[in-house]
Structure formats: structure tokens, C-alpha cells
Amino acid sequence: MNNKDNTIVLASASPRRKMILERLGIPFIVMPADIDETLPDLSPEDAVKELAVKKAESICSAGQLKHRWYLAADTMVLIDGKMLGKPADIIEAEAFLGALSGRKHQVITGIALFDAEKREMRTGTDSAHVWFAALTDKDITWYLSTGEWNGAAGAYRIQEMGECLVEKIEGSCSNIMGLPIRLFFSILLSAGYPAYNLPSG
């Protein structure tokens, strides 16, 4: 393990999380985690944190700790006390969108950052609220046809065409995208990651 290497190993193939790391100028490589992402029977905050930790642990084991920093995140939607993760198929995606139509829901993201040098796992959660427009059957059929529902918590992606379904948000947009920037940056600093010393450009 190269302790001077500031590369973060990202336990996700999510284009949104990759885009956020690129925007922050943080060097990273992608190593998607292969775990059971069924939401555990815990509070929403604890559920996303546990899945994020499991993802981080999975890539630490697979990568045999060749790097120092390992990052994972998990996002879910909460409505009426029910946790919505990634839909299993298009039928479940349609049900999710129908449940969210015309209503406010909460999006919660958990982060886990593992420092292999210190053997420390740091975690945190962030949440935001999203108001959906009242969707017609045509709206839902159109959005399902985009395929964006696949692999997306709550069956939509706000940073893509899913924004057409949203009337307003309250909180961090990056949280809804899957990696809340302020929380992530705070965790990096608390872990001793040299976030202020990365080369620009």
C-alpha cells in the first residue's frame, strides 16, 4: 500500500458519483462493490450507512488494500415510512413513481470512508426533500421508456431527465445524486485526507 497515494477507490460505477469526484479534482479509480443491496431492517439512516460500510469492506477485501482510501455510498428514498431502494424491474419502478407522484419524499445518502493506513471507517448521512409533480400515466410511461429508472434509488435520476418530474427540492442536490458534497468533504478532512493540497487543473 502506497500511503502517499491520494487516489480514492470508489465502490460504485455510478456516473454521478464519478462526476462529483471529478468536479472536486479528487483522483480516483472505480471498483464497483458486489453485495446484496437489500435494505436492512434498520432505521433509514442506519440502513444506508450499513450498506455503505458493507460496500467499502467488500472492495477493501477485493483490492487487498493496495490503496489507502476507500469510498462507498448508498442512497434510498423514504416515503410514508417505507424505504425505496433500486427497483428490481420496470414493474416495481412504475409502482415507485406512482407512489411519489404529487408528493414530497425524503432522499437519504450514507457515506463510508475507510482509511486503510489507520484502519478507520468514518461514516455519515445526509438527507434532502423532493417534491414530485402530479404525474400522469403518460408521464410515467415516458420516463420508464428512458431507462433511467434502472439502478436508481426511487426509480429516478434528478440530474438527468428525472428533473422533469420534480417541482422543487430542499437540501443538497448532490445528496439526491448519491454523494452529498459537503458531508463528503467534511469526512475527508476529519480523516486527514489532503483535500486542500490537491493539484489544481
Whether the CB-CB separation of 171 and 177 falls below 8 Å is answered with no
For β-strands 120-132 and 69-79, DSSP reports them as unpaired
DSSP designation for 24: H
Residues designated as active site: 74
Separation of CA 32 from chain center: 13
DSSP designation for 168: E
Residue ranges of the alpha helices (H) in the chain?
15-24, 44-63, 90-100, 137-146, 173-177, 181-191
Query: Whole-angstrom Cα distance, residue 96 to residue 85?
Result: 10
151: its cell numbers: 439502478
Query: Whole-angstrom Cα distance, residue 176 to residue 128?
Result: 7
Query: Whole-angstrom Cα distance, residue 52 to residue 134?
Result: 32
Query: Whole-angstrom Cα distance, residue 18 to residue 144?
Result: 24
For β-strands 104-115 and 120-132, DSSP reports them as antiparallel
